[in-house]
Amino acid sequence: MKKEWKIIVSIIGILITLCALCIGISSFVVRYRDYQQTKVPACPLLPINFTESDLIGTWIGKYFGDVDKLIIRDDGTYKQIYSSDFINFEREWQKWWTEYDSHGYLRLHLEGMRRCDGSKETCNKPGGGLPNGKQALNPCEPGGLDFNQEVILFVTGSTSNPPKGIMLQQGKIEGSEWSYTFRLEK
């Protein structure tokens, strides 16, 4: 009888040790994941050597087979060429300009740009931007922005290795789960 109790106590001791080990490993994994998320922000900082001239070139955004092309020139103008199954258009040259927000993130203002990531209503807005009452969520900090007659892209660094080390991020439209980026065409 004593021998059976010793075996039972030993098994319980082993189970308690294994549970403690599992809890410890689980705690480590959670802490490591949290550390990694704070280490890589939603909007990585721009490369140290970034200049506004790095924006010049042809940028491509893809949305489930649709292609949104932005040609940005150094004279402060850009052209949008959009192609999809339901709409194709090419805008005349429009104005672009940049500004840094209060947190140091760079915003690229594209006057007259149509926001065409899968929505006919938004893409067909004549002056560009978003329909009245719609906002785009800022991917770099809390809050939303109204895009009236323009689209604002967030110029950020990248954890991948795009040309010039930068990407142009779209803000999510309220109620959407999708966010898109433009990458410089090589």
Q: Where are the domains of the chain?
A: 1-39, 52-184
Q: What's residue 30's pLDDT?
A: 54
How do the pLDDT tens digits run along the chain, 186 residues long?
A: 666 777 776 777 777 777 667 676 766 655 544 444 444 467 888 999 999 999 999 999 988 888 999 999 999 999 999 998 888 889 999 999 999 988 788 999 999 998 886 567 677 777 888 777 788 888 888 888 878 889 999 999 988 888 888 999 988 777 666 678 899 997
- Lateral strand order in the sheet of 136-137: 144-145, 136-137, 172-173
